[in-house]
Structure formats: C-alpha cells, structure tokens
Chain A
C-alpha cells in the first residue's frame, strides 16, 4: 500500500513524514523524525514509556497511528526544556534521584507535566493515580512522587 504523507507539529516545529498506514506514531517519531526520547516498553499501551501529548491530550504513542498526527500538535520529552534550561520537573527528577535506569523517565515527565497543567497542586494520591499508567521497575515510585510534588510546589512559586 502507498505511504501516507503527514504534516504535523512536534514541539512547535512543523515536520513532514511518509508512513505506511499501519505505522504507529511512536515508530514515526522514533524512526522517521529522530525523536527517540519516547520509548517502546510494550507496544500495547500498558507501560507508558511512549507517552506524548497529542493536541494537549496525554496518549500512548504506540496506540496512535502516525497518520492520525496529520494537522496535530505533538509534545515529546525533547520539548520540555527551554534552550539550556530544564523544566522544573526535569530538574526535580535529577535533584531528587527520581530516576535510576531512566527508560521510563521521558514518559513519566510528559505524563507529570500533563497532570500539573490540569492540577497544579495534586495530592500524593492524585499523582499516584495519574501516573498509574507509567510503569517504573527501578524506583518503587517513591522518589518519583516526591519529585513531582516538589516540582509542582516550585511551579506554584512556593519554594525557591
């Protein structure tokens, strides 16, 4: 079958790619556009390592087709930092040792950012339920939850 031509925006920049109709957005991002920050941990939407936002909505990019990105705005982990300055979540994950191997980190950062945009002051429980779709096998989640809370407080201007 002929490939589909897709025009979309990734992290604010317009990009184009050709993909077969069955290709996932994750594969298109990784293999055609070079955004390899999103990871494939399962390919079935169970691990969240491929999390990106599509028109502001948090999705598993392994469950979205590349063709569905036509005309959309996509945000990936590569778009979190501004220039050399890390997003408060990124800085908090480093400062609070919220990552070990780091393979789940891009997905968790994208998901956590989406949470804080909806709820700037989430409780521990709200963070735990929001991130329940992002598997981490290294940390036991404890330091991740704390890092999100600390970043949220900073983004609200409550801490230095």
Chain B
C-alpha cells in the first residue's frame, strides 16, 4: 500500500513538473512535443496492429490444424512455452466466441447465470423476415422455488399460464421457452406487418388496431367508383402472424359476395398483410 502511494506521489510530481515546463516553453517547442507524442501514439498503434495480425495468423494456423480441438495441451514438451499456451487459449477463446454467437443467433436465446448462481437471466430475441427486432428478458429464480422474478414480456402474452405450477416452466424449461418464443415472435411479426402497412401503403387507412396486434381494420378504396371497403383481419391464434378470419364490408353490399373479393380474402389469410395489399394495389383492385 505504502509503495503504491509513494509511487503515485512520484508520478504526480513528475506530471506537475512536465506541465510547468510545457508552460515555460516557447510555442515551437510545444509543436515538437506534440509531434513526439503523436509519433509515440502511432508507434503504439502500429505495434498493436502488427501483434493482432501475427496473433490472427498463429491462431488461424492452430485452428486449421485441428478445428475440433477442445483440449488445451501443447503437444510435445518443447512446445509448451507460456506463449504457445497463450496462443492456444486464444484459439479456443475465438472458437468459443463464434460458437456462443452462433447459438444466440440460431436459438434466439441468451442465457446468463445471475450473480451467486441463484437464478438465470434469459433474453429472447424476436425477428421477422430475417430482421432482429425487440428482445424480451426474464429473470428466473431457481432457488428456493422456481419462479419468474422479473420480466418485460407484454401483458397479453399468457406468461402466467405458462409459468403456473406444474406448467411448462416447471416440467419442461426448453418447451416453456419454445412456446414463449413462439408467442413473442408471432406478436413481433404482426406488429412489424402493421408498421410496414403504414409505411408502404398510405392509400390504405388503418382504422383500428389493438395492443397485441390481433385485430386490424383497414379502409381501402376501389379505384373507379371511389367506393370504400372496410376489411377486418382477426388474428385469433396468438402464435401465428397470419389471420384466422378476414371479413369485408362495403357500401356496395354485393361486393363481399363476389368471387374476386372471396379470392382477395383468401389472399389476405395466406399472405402477410403488407404484401397482400401490395399485390391488390398492383393489380388495380384497390387504390
């Protein structure tokens, strides 16, 4: 402790002296000092880059030798220098980092033990059409009882039902996460579709939508007659992002019964809504 303190005071007084000197020096000398510092920084940067390239090279060689290697032994005795141990550790580190990253991407989960190992923190990714959207997190206590301590899952997702005693959370954790992830991803998908409708189709008016994005009422206009068509999409299955029911109302009472509009309803049931609308507009069915 004392040595640290005395060392610190030496450094501080040295710094003080430098500052004083600098203040006394003519401007040109300042310029030289600046340049010196710049050169020093550049040398450091160059050395770092060189080291990165070298390490990258050595690690790549090691990986190519044995991509599946999991032991960290250094082969024959002569090769067991500290540096080679370090290189091997770096190789494994790089592999593990890639593996973890890949697992996060493919599973959509990120699980970390919370401090003292009392629980886990799970973060669930949502994505729609390859775009990663919001993440939701749950903090789950393992001891003394398995329970969800905190979370930011939207209230309309039936988390309580999934986490009820004897439910999936207790019997099959993997299944629990699977189901929860399906609910969240379907919600994210519906929400994203609604966003895309608003962005891409200004001629279509969103009359009504709700928080879980399970009901969507759209007003469209027929191009020639300027007749309004009200279209209601009901997404009653919370793990899907396509509607279960599509109904059409219009001033022209016969319109919903026409073959064309029955086909349009089928299209809206089978295709994401923003794409279905794009196709209707393209074909001149609506404005």
- Are A and B co-members of a single complex? no
What residues make up the interface of A, taking CB atoms closer than 8 Å to B? none
